[in-house]
Every structure is written in structure tokens, then in C-alpha cells.
Amino acid sequence: MYDGDVEPARITIRESRNYKRNLFTALHEVGHHIFWNDEAWQFQVLPELGDKARLIEEKIVNDFAASILVPEDAVALHLGEGVSPEGIQALIQGTQASATTCCIRALNQPGQRLVILASEDGKIWYADSNGTPYNPGRRVAQPALISAIERARESGKYRLMGGEGIRYSKGWADTDVCLDVLLHDGLVIAVATSTRPSLRGSASTGWHEVCEACGAEFAASASSGQCTTCGDWKCSDCRGCQCTASKAVYCRRCFLVLPTTEASKGMTVHEECD
């Protein structure tokens, strides 16, 4: 946590057992310190960004920390020919950066992709995208990812073309994808790229959704319809969607957005990060 209101400014870190995570956290907060003391950023740029200001600053300081922990020569060596799970794995093994940090670095490479870190049972811990395929978030189950993981158990890696694609909470799936999966020390590193970015297939709305507003689980088929503003299926219990959810709260450990159900309880750290 960064506190610029004291003299001198103070950075407080809740130490993790993961040494690499501690390094990232410290550098992330240094990034906030730099912005805090940048008058142009504080008084000219931030007011223009409006509600997106915090999200943008978080992304920039994440990139700042990642760029220090993963040097350019390592990026050129392992990702210079293209981003792959094997390249991300090599960065994890050859630098002082955590798996999440290496994924952030991979997203800054040319081209569009979705990068996912998950457990071997398919639970997503981290997901982010710099274009297509879009980021589905961590709460939507991904059958294609689970299928690819199962097929990767024999050789340690697998490439899945198409299939059920990447599912989204708005009730559709991008089926024009290539999903590369690699098993690494209990983690799953996945990189998804679009095969035909301009075309997408609609998926059945028969699976269950989790309401961003109240946290209730409901069948998409039971929804009264999609919100015309955010596109989410309206909750069958509270009729809520992302529009009724509170403003984003960022985890103080991993700096990713907390689900509304956790933020509404006053939590500031993901359950799995605590």
C-alpha cells in the first residue's frame, strides 16, 4: 500500500510467501509513488480520465513493475518470435518475476491475445487480454480450457482449435480461437489467439451465470434478457447486472479487480490471495 500523505512517503507491503510476488508488489507501489509526485499526471491527465483513471493507473504501474522484473533481452529471447506458453514459462524460470508478471509482460508484445493462468482443475486465477479474444474474467467456467488441460496431461502441452471457444458472461462464445495450453508446476499457462477475429459464434445461453450485483447463481435461460447498456444477462433474482454493481475494488495483493460479491463484503483481498 502506498501512502503519499506522510513525510516521507511510505510503502507498506503485506509480505507473501512468494518472494517474486513481493518484488512485484514493491515495484508496483513505487510506480504509484512516481505518479503521486508527477504534477502533470495529477492535475492534467487524471481529471481527463474520469472514472477510468484508477484502472488506467493500475495498468501502467503493473507494466512498470513487469518491465523492470522482466528485462528486454529476456523478452526478446523468449517471446521475440511470438508469445507462447513455452515462452512465458521460460521467463518464469529465468527471471525474478512471478507467473502473473510474466503474463503481463507477454501482453505488451505486438499482436492481440488472451493470457490465462489457471489451476490444473481449470479454475482461473488470472486472465487479461490486449484485444481479441476478449478477457472473459475469472468467474465464467471455460469448458474448452478444461478440455485442453485434460489432453495436455500426457505430454504437458496441447493446442485446441475452435471447440467451445472462450465463453463470456454476456451469453456468447468466441469459437474462432486457437488455445495453447502448457502445464507448469501445478499451474496452467494458456494463450488464446483469434483465428478469424471478425467472426464469432453464438453459444447457448443454457449455462449458469453469476450475478455481478448480488452474487446469485442463475440460469441464463431464466433471465429476462440482456442489459442494453452492459450486455450482461439480467439476474433472475435481483434483475441486476454490471451496471448495478459497485465501482471496481482492487485486490491489495495481486492488484486485480475483486468480484462484486467479495467487494460488497468489505473485502480488499481475494479469498485465494489471503
Q: Residue 52 has what pLDDT? A: 79
Quote the CA–CA distance of 255 and 249 in Å, as a whole number. 9
Q: Which pLDDT belongs to residue 203?
A: 41
Terminal alpha carbon distance of the chain: 15
- Where helices occur in 70-98 by DSSP H, the ranges are 72-79, 85-94
- What is the spatial distance between Cα 2 and Cα 61, in angstroms, rounded to a whole number? 12
CA pair distance 207, 215, nearest whole angstrom? 16
Q: Mean pLDDT of successive 10-residue segments in the chain (274 residues)?
A: 67 72 83 84 83 82 86 93 95 90 90 94 92 90 95 95 89 90 95 69 52 67 63 67 60 69 74 72
Quick one: pLDDT at residue 227?
Answer: 63
Q: Which residue has the cell 445461453?
A: 205
Can you list the alpha helix ranges (DSSP code H) found in the chain? Answer: 19-36, 39-40, 46-49, 53-69, 72-79, 85-94, 99-107, 143-152, 260-263
Q: Which amino acid is at 131?
A: G
Distance from C-alpha of 266 to C-alpha of 259, rounded to nearest angstrom: 11
Q: What pLDDT, on a 0 to 100 scale, did the predictor assign at position 199?
A: 36
Sequence spans of domains, the chain: 205-274
How many angstroms separate the CA atoms of 272 and 214, rounded?
20
Please tell me the predicted confidence (pLDDT) of residue 204. Answer: 46
User: What's the rounded Cα separation, in Å, for the pair 194 and 114?
Assistant: 9
